[in-house]
């Protein structure tokens, strides 16, 4: 399928969490893809954002002026109705309360790793080499893909997606996630925008029914949710349209992103729907900390 890249992509990951690209490598790919506005949204950490800002500050003015960077983060959250991911954009990361929520998110992610390691060993007899375990424990934001790729190397699974689906997803980690209300409040209190990532479900997750989506949405709205990720690489245009209607109904801003991780070229940077159709930058409306409004 031929992909028409969008010039905006507000959801991508680097090696600071579970992406494969370094910060410098990711920026080079963003430039090569012709993306004019992007956000780095690593899981429960802003280490990559800080590194990207330092790198952008070193770029020539002529190059820097063509690309707009938005601070992002993706919190792994939970509500009484189930798991969800909350994206935060344009926040002031110097706030102590925000930093404490980030620290809590990182600690919970490390807790999930230990639970998964124990679960895989006890349930399936899968035991990782000590040096691999220590390497994962030393990462700032380790996730399912790190475990899955090791399992492929060990011959336990033929692909990372199989490892996640067949083994890792069966590990109960609901109590190792941030309460969604806490994440949304932390983002809003520092001038950021809180957006529900891939509301129908992300990669490797079961798709929500319309009733499940609306119930979760109403709960997140009660916490102060401000936006929906309507444009998403794994959603078709009909799903995008339905999400846009929800955004209109509840006066929410519209976001969109590929959820790029750098693995096997899917999704690609700038891919904001499964059809590979380009999304005009004016279709998104995410207000950010600097006061710039994309609409």
Strands 82-89 and 68-79: antiparallel
Q: What is the pTM of this model?
A: 0.88
Residue 240 is encoded by which pair of tokens? 């995008």
The pLDDT of residue 222: 98
Q: How far is CA 128 from the centre of its chain?
A: 26
The pLDDT of residue 209: 95
The pLDDT of residue 213: 97
Residue 35 is encoded by which pair of tokens? 């993306």
The pLDDT of residue 265: 61
The pLDDT of residue 63: 55
Q: How far is CA 85 from CA 140, 145, 216, 226, 293, in A?
A: 18, 16, 12, 13, 23
Enumerate domains of the chain plus CATH numbers: 8-104+176-283 (3.20.20.140), 106-170 (1.10.150)
Query: Who's near 73: CB < 8 A, 6+ residues apart?
Result: 41, 42, 44, 45, 46, 49, 87, 88, 91, 102
Distance between CA 289 and CA 188 in Å, rounded? Answer: 10
Residue 36 near residue 294, CB atoms below 8 Å: no
Query: Who's near 17: CB < 8 A, 6+ residues apart?
Result: 42, 43, 44, 45, 48, 140, 141, 143
Distance between CA 159 and CA 148 in Å, rounded? Answer: 8
Residue 174 near residue 164, CB atoms below 8 Å: no
Query: Who's near 115: CB < 8 A, 6+ residues apart?
Result: 171, 172, 173, 176
The pLDDT of residue 268: 93
Distance between CA 20 and CA 100 in Å, rounded? Answer: 27
The pLDDT of residue 294: 45
The pLDDT of residue 165: 86
Tens-level pLDDT at each residue, the chain (295 residues): 577 889 999 999 999 988 889 999 999 999 999 999 999 999 999 999 999 999 998 887 765 557 899 999 999 999 999 999 999 999 999 999 999 999 998 888 888 889 999 999 999 999 999 999 988 887 767 778 888 889 999 999 998 888 888 998 888 877 789 999 999 999 999 999 999 999 999 887 889 999 999 999 999 999 999 999 999 999 999 999 999 999 999 999 999 999 999 876 679 999 999 998 999 988 998 876 444 434 3
The burial of 199, by beta-carbon neighbours within 10 Å (0-12 exposed, 13-18 middle, 19 or more buried), is given as: buried
């Amino acid at each position: 399928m031929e992909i028409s890249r969008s010039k905006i992509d507000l959801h991508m990951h680097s090696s600071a969490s579970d992406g494969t690209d370094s910060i410098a490598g990711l920026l080079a790919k963003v430039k090569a893809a012709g993306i004019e506005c992007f956000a780095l949204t690593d899981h429960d950490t802003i280490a990559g954002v800080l590194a990207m800002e330092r790198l952008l500050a070193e770029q020539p003015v002529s190059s820097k002026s063509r690309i707009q960077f938005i601070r992002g983060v993706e919190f792994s959250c939970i509500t009484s109705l189930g798991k969800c991911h909350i994206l935060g954009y344009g926040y002031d990361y110097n706030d102590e309360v925000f930093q404490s929520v980030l620290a809590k998110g990182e600690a919970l992610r490390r807790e999930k790793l230990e639970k998964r390691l124990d679960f895989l060993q006890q349930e399936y007899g899968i035991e990782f080499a000590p040096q691999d375990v220590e390497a994962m424990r030393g990462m700032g934001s380790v996730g399912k893909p790190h475990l899955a790729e090791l399992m492929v190397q060990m011959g336990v699974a033929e692909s990372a997606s199989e490892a996640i689906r067949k083994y890792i997803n069966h590990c109960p980690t609901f109590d190792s996630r941030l309460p969604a209300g806490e994440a949304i409040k932390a983002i809003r209190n520092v001038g950021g925008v809180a957006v529900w990532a891939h509301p129908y479900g992300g990669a490797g997750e079961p798709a929500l029914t319309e009733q499940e989506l609306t119930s979760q949405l109403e709960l997140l709205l009660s916490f102060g949710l401000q936006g929906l990720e309507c444009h998403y690489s794994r959603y078709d245009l009909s799903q995008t349209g339905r999400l846009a209607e929800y955004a209109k109904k509840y006066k929410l801003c519209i976001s969109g992103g590929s959820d790029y991780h750098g693995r096997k070229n899917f999704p690609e940077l700038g891919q904001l729907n499964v059809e590979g159709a380009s999304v005009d930058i004016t279709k998104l409306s995410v207000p950010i900390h600097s006061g710039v409004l994309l609409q």
